[in-house]
Amino acid sequence: MSAFFSDPAGLCLAVTAVLGGMVLCKLKKTQGQVGRQVGLACLAGLWGGACLLSLSLFWGSILFSLSCFLIYPRLPGRELLPADQKAVLVTGGDSGFGHALSKYLDQLGFTVFTGVLNEKGSGAEELRRTCSKRLSVLQLDITDPAQIKDAYRKVVEKVQGKGLWALINNAGVLGFPADGELIPMANYKHCMAVNFFGAVEVTKTFLPLLRLSKGRLVNISSMAGCVPMEKLAAYGSSKAALTMFSAVMRQELSKWGVKVSIIQPGGFRTNIGGTSEMWDKMEKDLLDHLAPDVYEDYGRDYILTQRNFIHHISTNANPDISPVLLDIQHAISAKSPLALYAPGKSSYLWFCIASFFPTVVFDYLNKRMHGSPNLPRGMLHCKNDGT
């Protein structure tokens, strides 16, 4: 053994292994999704291998060791700040992530303000019935400036100059998933109004309270906001805008001590797709606004199969949303939160594939995994004609 450590090459490998192990151990202890941890570990391993292969053993080990020294302090830890006296605002609390998150944060001891689209709806009533007196339900349609201002006034009255610790922009809509050419412009505008402009206006309104507390801004985006997915041109574009807004705000607000995180969940089962009655209405709206030549090229049968995508994502989505709740808790409570969280099966893997792989590789894999077997009528005619 002494001979091994007296050899420079052996010493370099030993130091590299120890430092790499320290990074992996901290990743293992990080609260959050295993997928993200595995992804980070794989990237660290690839970087280490590239260092050792591209350079001499000595300099490769030095470069990798230096990388570990720089990365280790910036990795998120498990130490969480106490919830006592911390007020948080969650939008979109009627159902889904926002509803479950409001209950979860209330149980943890936060003072929770939950914005709902309908303060007299079943979701709002359930929150009032099951949560503590610390939770307040606010009427908050994030596309209505008057309601945003009214919610701000009520929050200010209750926090009494202490500021707001965290704003969680969760409210969002999916719209009717379909080929981008088929989606009505009204659907594009509605997705942007709720998923992007609404979140921006709520953020701008409540930022003075966040700056006062040096708190947290957490925006709930989607895997579709960074990974191109068929049928989600309207939804994905609005979430991509929210993702970029979050990245810019993260840099600008750092000087105020406000930390910004973006949550990009994969496939989880919520009711963001809406009800069957809503699908019928959106489907009719889509058919009513199609140009005759587009209708002819795609065909009615193909268009009517678009709603199958909603059934598909609902059936294959994970009903356990606890990974999302844990990541949001980490984002608002950790001393050193991540800038990006990607809870969900394979969500971080797809993020890496879309970001680092050649486009042709991503397109092939995405088509194999998520592509639809149905073809528009115009393409079927071409195939039948042999063209």
Catalytic residue numbers read 235
Interatomic CA distance for residues 361 and 346, integer angstroms:
17
Q: List the one residue out of 372, 346, 350 whose CA is nearest residue 361.
A: 350
Q: Is 174 exposed, middle or buried (0-12, 13-18, 19+ CB in 10 A)?
A: buried
SS3 260: strand
Q: What is the DSSP string of 273-297?
A: T--HHHHHHHHHHHHHT--HHHHHH
Which ranges in 117-274 belong to alpha helices (H)? 122-130, 145-159, 185-191, 199-213, 233-253
* Sheet of 216-220, strands arranged across: 136-139, 111-116, 87-90, 166-169, 216-220, 259-263, 340-341
Report helix angle 57-71 to 8-29, nearest 10: 20
State residue 138 phi and psi, 5-degree precision.
-115, 135
Strands 166-169 and 216-220: parallel
Interatomic CA distance for residues 104 and 190, integer angstroms:
29
Please identify which residue in the block is written with the tokens 């260092």. Answer: 51
Query: Which are the contacts of 210, defined by CB distance < 8 A and separation ≥ 6?
Result: 163, 164, 165, 166, 167, 216, 217, 253, 258
Interatomic CA distance for residues 44 and 38, integer angstroms:
10
Interatomic CA distance for residues 309 and 232, integer angstroms:
10
Interatomic CA distance for residues 355 and 379, integer angstroms:
31
The amino acid occupying position 317 is A
Interatomic CA distance for residues 105 and 168, integer angstroms:
11
Beta bridge partners of 261: 218
Interatomic CA distance for residues 239 and 227, integer angstroms:
10
